[in-house]
């Protein structure tokens, strides 16, 4: 059974129903095969884009759907419950639009955002480098000022949608001090931009992950987003929201694993009873359900802070940590519930387990989330009692 | 051009179906939705409107449904897909109406609306008699082009292809006319998120039998010619028969099975 949901408006409820329909009819039938053959589902993104699902969290005046995170994240969760690669992709697309929306000039936003959010285009976000993942300030890719433009040189590792995206939001060094990093919007057809072959990953194999090479890629000054030196701050702010997206997708993935496990447990018999009738196994399922529900509640609590314009970064880290650790546990337990069958590729739960693993790694490893949370505790967390400003 | 598309709110076929004590379908206690077969009718109506573009003057697609309060969900779905306005005929006296009575209410509602073309699905996914479109055309005194699997409109001439078991026929009718379309006419679109938001502002009127000038005695279970006598749950699925071929008798066993089921 998919999750029970309480949506804030009838339109949001209709939106979630629509997402569930299109997920069941268009995404689910294609997922297992595309993952097995490592084929990037570009068409699926177009289908979602035409329905207006690639711009949901951005305002209408820049071409978005103007939905609160409370709604947008539940859309991501539904997508993640049928196809993690697509759920992650929609989240990364939103991530790649963040800098322009937040720090772009009015002219830059009007020029590019409506198209970026319109559904036909797909974005990518280039922060990590081969030697600099958790510590992005150690990046080496440079953007040298040259007349009325910049010339980008270096390599960006692990780019989700690498080689498939239509635009790349790229962080590059514009000075030698650690924080001298700026943000650039680079079109896919820029000269000197190329993609390595996709990484051969453990899971999320339908999503392409590549190193992007910048061999003297020239972009105009008008493609620098925000001021020089503002890039790292923008990249990290984008990740606060992006982590909520990953938390939601991980929750959907866990829900899917739980659903498969419950269906199997009601069908499989041992010692003359259904395995769900053995208390020892029913308790495993109960813990899985509790883990999924608490994950959902955790990301929604952070989303509601964000939607009201309140600080939410620590809560986003908590959500990313809880939801992805829970997804790892729930998908592992789902394999256990299916016994030997769970360990085979004839059932999807082993794939879910492989997909859950990466969620603990990207957009800040769960060690980094704990670091963020620990620092917040050191500084002192808020004890304020606030009324909903809405 | 004015298109009226008749749609039905039906119980979700993926859920358990229940019946009331009088053997009518329980529509209140279960999740309902726009009948999938009627989505094709909405799709064809929207395509006709889009093809006419601005040359056809201002075309308008009106969604018409008869049903309990929840049936407005079916209208809303059609509005989200792109229809322009809705009419919901709701009256307790209608409950239990058969196809004959239903077609009377539909016809009276259509008469109150400007209509060049009335579009229906091929059948409902719950009652499933598939006779309402023909009855409706008779009651309206309009030509009925039913079971179209491909639809063309050329000026005032409607042309459809009907695929039968033994022949494919082309049927032409002059507008105004009644059209029904099959599940082969073209996949229905998904609403877009913009469509969902736009539907909020589209007008939906609710009409009673009195608004239509229909007497309550002409409809409902009492006035219906057909009634469901008895319903039975579908028997649980039984395990299939497995033919084991250990001594070369497998082929014969398969043929015997197919013959016994009259497949060959
Ligand atoms: C499938 C996939 C998709 C990705 N997509 C993108 C993308 O689209 N864009 C992008 O920019 N990046 C992307 N990444 C990169 C991802 O964000 C990094 O892999 C991640 O941040 C970790 O960096 P690293 O791999 O260099 O590990 P490292 O930083 O080398 O970390 C190695 C280990 O050390 C731990 N560690 C590091 N520092 C500390 C510390 N201070 N305290 C405690 N433990 C620590 C880490 O938790 C980890 O366990 C993607 C990665 C994958 C696998």
Residue B99 within a domain = yes
Residues in chain B closer than 8 A to A21 (CB atoms): 190
- In this predicted structure, the answer to whether residue B226 has a pLDDT above a threshold of 90 is no
Q: Do A48 and A100 sit in the same domain of this protein?
A: yes
Whether A274 shows a pLDDT value over 70: the answer reads yes
Count of residues for chain B? 264
Average pLDDT over residues A171-179: 96
Ligand 1 atom with minimal separation from the A156 CA: 11
Residue B192, chain A, CB below 8 Å: the answer is yes
Q: Work out the average pLDDT over A316-338.
A: 98
Assess whether A267 and A220 both reside in one domain: no
CB A160 within 8 Å of CB A125: yes
A53·B76 Cβ contact <8 A: no
Beta-carbon separation of B192 and A51 below 8 A: yes
| Contact between A18 and B190 using a beta-carbon 8 Å cutoff | yes
Query: Which residues of chain B are within 8 Å of residue A22 when distances are taken between CB atoms?
Result: 190
Q: Is residue A64 less than 8 Å (CB to CB) from chain B?
A: no
Distance of CA A373 to the CA centre of its chain: 20
Q: Are residues A328 and A247 in the same domain?
A: yes
Buried b (16+ CB within 10 A) or exposed e, A6-42: eeeeebbebbbbbbbebbeebbeebbeebbeeeebbe
Cα separation, B255 vs B263, in Å, equals: 9
The CATH number given to whatever domain includes residue B64 is 3.40.50.620
Q: Over 70: is that where the pLDDT of A177 sits?
A: yes
The whole-angstrom distance between B237's CA and the closest CA on chain A is: 14
Q: Which of A10, A12, A14 to mutate to test the interface with B (most CBs of B within 10 A)?
A: A14
Instruction: Tell me the pLDDT tens digit for each residue of A50-101.
Output: 999 999 999 999 999 999 999 999 999 999 999 999 999 999 999 999 999 9
Give whole-number Cα distances, A38 to A78, A109, A204, A210, in Å: 22, 34, 9, 13
pLDDT at A283: 98
Same domain, A308 and A360: yes
Q: How confident is the model at residue B235 (pLDDT cuts 50, 70, 90)?
A: confident
Q: What is the ipTM of this complex?
A: 0.83
Of B76, B194, B200, the CB nearest to A52: B194
Phi/psi for B118 (5° steps) reads -110, 125
> In whole angstroms, what is the distance from residue A77 CA to residue A67 CA?
15
B24-42 pLDDT per residue, tens: 777 666 788 999 999 999 9
Ligand 1 close to Cβ of residue A367 (< 6 A): yes
CB of A125 within 6 A of ligand 1: the answer is yes
Ligand 1: residue whose CA is nearest its atom 12 = A128
pLDDT average, residue stretch A286-310: 97
Burial of B6 (0-12, 13-18, 19+ CB in 10 A): buried
Instruction: Calculate the average pLDDT of chain B.
Output: 91
What percent of chain A has a predicted confidence (pLDDT) above 70? 99
pLDDT recorded at residue A119 = 94
A129 classed as catalytic: no
In-domain check, residue A80: yes
In a domain? residue B59: yes
Q: Quick check: is B245 in a domain?
A: no
Residue A7 confidence (pLDDT)? 96
The pLDDT of residue B54: 66
Contacts of A18 in chain B (CB under 8 A): 80, 190-191, 193, 196
Residue given tokens 């060690």 in the structure block:
A367
What is the bridge-based pairing of β-strands B2-7 and B117-121?
Answer: parallel
Q: In whole angstroms, how far apart are CA A119 and each of A167, B8, B77? A: 13, 32, 22
Give contacts of A56 with chain B, Cβ < 8 Å.
193
CATH of the domain at A83: 1.10.540.10
Residues of chain A contacting residue B194, judged by C-beta atoms under 8 Å apart:
52, 65
Domain boundary among A212, A229, A246: A229
Q: Token pair for residue A287?
A: 């813990």
Mutate to test the interface with A, among B193, B196, B197 (most CBs of A within 10 A): B193
Residue A384 located in a structural domain: no
Instruction: Give the closest residue to A241 by CA, choosing from A87, A95, A75.
Output: A95
Which CATH number does the domain housing residue A200 bear? Answer: 2.40.110.10
Among residues of chain B, what percentage have pLDDT more than 70?
Answer: 97
CB contact under 8 A, A51 and B190: yes
CA–chain centroid gap for A27, Å, is 17
Q: Is residue B20 part of a domain?
A: yes
Same-domain pairing of A215 and A277 = no
| Residue whose CB lies within 8 A of the most ligand 1 atoms, among A126, A128, A196, for a mutation test | A128
Q: Do B200 and A65 touch (CB under 8 A)?
A: no
Least reliable range by pLDDT among A87-91, A314-318, B120-124: B120-124
Q: Are residues A72 and A207 in the same domain?
A: no
Residue closest by Cα to atom 38 of ligand 1: A134
Ligand 1 proximity of A371 Cβ (cutoff 6 Å): yes
> For residue A85, is it within any domain?
yes
Distance from CA of B240 to the nearest CA of A (A): 17
Atom number in ligand 1 closest to CA A124: 8
Residue B8: give the domain boundaries. Answer: 2-223
Please state the separation of Cα A257 from the chain's center in Å: 19
Range of the domain at A302: 233-379
Q: How confident is the model at residue A142 (pLDDT cuts 50, 70, 90)?
A: very high
| pLDDT tens by residue, B134-185 | 999 999 999 999 999 999 999 999 999 999 889 999 999 999 999 999 999 9
Verify that A132 and A209 share a domain, yes or no: yes
Q: What does the pLDDT read at residue A2?
A: 82
Q: Count how many domains chain B has.
A: 1
Question: Do A11 and B196 count as a contact with CB atoms less than 8 A apart?
Answer: yes
pLDDT of B133 over the 80 cut: yes
Of the residues A117, A147, A166, which one is the last residue of a structural domain? A117
Residue A390 has a pLDDT of 63
Pocket test for ligand 1, best of A362, A369, A370, A375 (most atoms within 8 A of CB): A362
Is the domain of A130 the same as that of A267?
Answer: no
Same domain, A375 and A284: yes
Does residue B257 sit at the A interface (CB-CB below 8 Å)? no
For chain A, say whether B193 makes contact (Cβ under 8 Å).
yes
3-state helix, strand, coil in chain A (%, to 5): 55, 15, 30
Quote the pLDDT of residue B241.
81
Tell me if A180 CB under 6 Å of ligand 1: no
Reported confidence tier of residue B21, pLDDT bands at 50, 70, 90? confident
Q: What is the mean pLDDT of chain A?
A: 96
A206-262 confidence digits (pLDDT tens): 999 999 999 999 999 999 999 999 999 999 999 999 999 999 999 999 999 999 999
pLDDT band at B56 (very low <50, low <70, confident <90, very high): low
Final residue of a domain: which of A213, A229, A245? A229
Query: Is residue B130 a part of any domain in this protein?
Result: yes
> What was the pLDDT predicted at B113?
97
- Give the position, in ligand 1's atom list, of the atom nearest the Cα of A92: 8
Per-residue confidence (pLDDT) for residue B24, from 0 to 100: 76
Q: What is the pLDDT of residues A11-46, one digit of tens each?
A: 999 999 999 999 999 999 999 999 999 999 999 999
Q: Do A56 and B193 touch (CB under 8 A)?
A: yes
Same domain, A374 and A259: yes
Question: Does A251 share its domain with A368?
Answer: yes
Average pLDDT over residues A166-177: 97
């Amino acid at each position: 059974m998919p999750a029970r949901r309480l949506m804030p408006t009838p339109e949001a409820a209709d939106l979630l129903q629509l997402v569930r329909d299109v997920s069941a009819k268009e995404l689910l039938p294609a997922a297992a095969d595309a993952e097995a053959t490592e084929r990037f589902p570009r068409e699926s993104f177009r289908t979602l884009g035409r329905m207006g699902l690639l711009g949901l969290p951005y305002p209408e005046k820049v071409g978005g759907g103007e939905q609160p995170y409370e709604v947008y994240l539940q859309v991501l969760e539904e997508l993640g419950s049928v196809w993690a690669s697509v759920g992650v992709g929609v989240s990364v697309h939103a991530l790649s639009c963040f800098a322009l929306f937040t720090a772009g000039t009015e002219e830059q936003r009007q020029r590019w955002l409506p198209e970026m959010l319109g559904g036909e285009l797909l974005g990518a976000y280039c922060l990590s480098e081969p030697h600099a993942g958790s510590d992005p300030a150690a990046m080496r890719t440079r953007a040298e000022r040259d007349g009325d433009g910049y010339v980008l040189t270096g390599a960006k590792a692990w780019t989700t949608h690498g080689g498939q995206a239509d635009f790349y939001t790229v962080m590059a060094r514009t000075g030698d001090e650690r924080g001298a990093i700026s943000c650039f919007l680079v079109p896919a057809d820029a000269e000197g931009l190329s993609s390595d072959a996709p990484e051969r990953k453990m899971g999320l194999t339908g999503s392409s992950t590549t190193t992007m090479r910048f061999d003297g890629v020239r972009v105009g000054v008008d493609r620098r987003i925000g001021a020089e030196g503002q890039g790292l701050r923008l990249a990290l702010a984008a990740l606060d929201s992006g982590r909520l997206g990953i938390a939601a997708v991980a929750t959907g993935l866990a829900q899917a694993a739980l659903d498969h496990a419950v269906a199997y447990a009601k069908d499989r018999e041992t010692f003359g009873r259904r395995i769900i009738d053995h208390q020892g196994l029913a308790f495993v399922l109960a813990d899985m359900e509790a883990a999924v529900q608490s994950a959902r509640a955790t990301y929604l609590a952070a989303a509601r802070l964000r939607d009201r314009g309140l600080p939410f970064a620590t809560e986003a880290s908590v959500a990313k940590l809880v939801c992805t650790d829970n997804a790892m546990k729930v998908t592992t337990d789902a394999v256990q519930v299916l016994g030997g069958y769970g360990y085979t590729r004839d059932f999807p739960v082993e794939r879910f387990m492989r997909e859950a693993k990466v969620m603990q790694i990207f957009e800040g490893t769960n060690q980094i989330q704990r670091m963020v949370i620990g620092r917040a505790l050191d500084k002192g967390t808020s004890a304020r009692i606030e009324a909903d400003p809405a | 051009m004015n298109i009226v598309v008749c749609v039905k709110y039906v119980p979700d076929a993926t859920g358990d179906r229940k019946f009331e004590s009088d053997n009518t379908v329980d529509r209140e206690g279960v999740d309902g939705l726009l009948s999938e077969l009627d989505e094709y009718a909405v799709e064809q109506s929207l395509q006709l409107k889009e093809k006419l573009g601005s040359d056809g003057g201002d075309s308008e697609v009106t969604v018409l449904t008869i049903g309990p309060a929840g049936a407005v969900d079916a209208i809303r779905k059609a509005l989200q897909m792109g229809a322009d306005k809705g009419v919901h005929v709701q009256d307790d006296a209608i409950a239990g109406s058969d196809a004959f009575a239903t077609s009377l209410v539909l016809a009276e509602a259509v008469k109150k609306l400007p209509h060049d073309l009335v579009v229906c699905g091929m059948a409902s996914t719950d009652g499933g008699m598939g006779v309402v479109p023909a009855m409706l055309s008779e009651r309206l005194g309009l030509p009925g082009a039913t079971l179209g699997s491909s639809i063309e409109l050329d000026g005032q001439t409607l042309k459809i292809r009907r695929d039968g078991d033994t022949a494919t026929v082309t049927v032409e009718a002059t507008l105004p006319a009644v059209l029904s379309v099959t599940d082969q006419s073209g996949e229905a679109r998904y609403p877009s998120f913009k469509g969902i938001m736009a539907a909020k502002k589209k007008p939906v009127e609710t009409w009673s039998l009195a608004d239509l000038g229909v007497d309550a005695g002409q409809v409902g279970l009492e006035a219906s010619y057909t009634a469901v006598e008895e319903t039975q749950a579908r028997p649980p699925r039984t395990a299939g028969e497995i033919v084991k071929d250990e001594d070369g008798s497998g082929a014969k066993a398969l043929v015997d099975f197919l013959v016994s089921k009259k497949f060959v």
